């Protein structure tokens, strides 16, 4: 049962990350950073409190999915912060110096994002498992 809930939480987490990536692409840098900081704690608290509040009203099977969507702000924030902190002309300078796509990925993006990706992966595993366990209680 916990494995089923974990898969549903992870699918909601993936959907929330896609939505957050769209926001990062569309909104200006300061707005993205401030919106992420503004939503970080309320969405985490809501994701953990959702089982208690929701079971008091009605029971449903979409609860773990929405928990995953709410957790996405905490998972995307470190990666988005690393992307927003990079110099804006970094990729353009690499293209101007003749770097192809694989060279840019290997020499610029991977070293820039690897610590954030590892931290976000660990955070996603811990928070998803916690939400899946809270759904069973």
Segments forming the whole domain that contains residue 122 = 2-136
DSSP string, 27-85: S-HHHHHHHHHHHHHHHHHHHHHHHHHHHHH---SSHHHHHHHHHHHHHHHHHHHHHHH
Predicted TM-score (pTM) of the model is 0.76
Give the pLDDT confidence of 1-35 residue by residue, as tens digits: 677 777 888 888 888 888 888 887 888 878 888 88
Domain count, the chain: 1
Contacts of 77 (CB under 8 A, 6+ apart): 36, 37, 40
First vs last C-alpha separation in the chain: 12
């Amino acid at each position: 049962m916990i494995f089923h809930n974990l898969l549903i939480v992870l699918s909601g987490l993936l959907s929330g990350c896609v939505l957050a990536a769209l926001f990062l692409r569309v909104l200006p840098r300061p707005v993205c950073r401030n919106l992420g900081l503004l939503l970080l704690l309320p969405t985490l608290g809501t994701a953990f409190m959702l089982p208690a509040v929701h079971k008091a009203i009605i029971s449903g099977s979409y609860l773990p999915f929405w928990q995953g969507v709410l957790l996405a702000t905490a998972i995307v924030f470190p990666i988005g912060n690393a992307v927003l902190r990079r110099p804006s002309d970094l990729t353009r300078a690499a293209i101007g110096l003749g770097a192809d796509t694989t060279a840019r990925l290997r020499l610029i993006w991977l070293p820039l994002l690897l610590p954030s990706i590892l931290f976000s992966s660990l955070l996603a595993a811990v928070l998803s498992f916690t939400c899946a366990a809270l759904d069973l209680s």
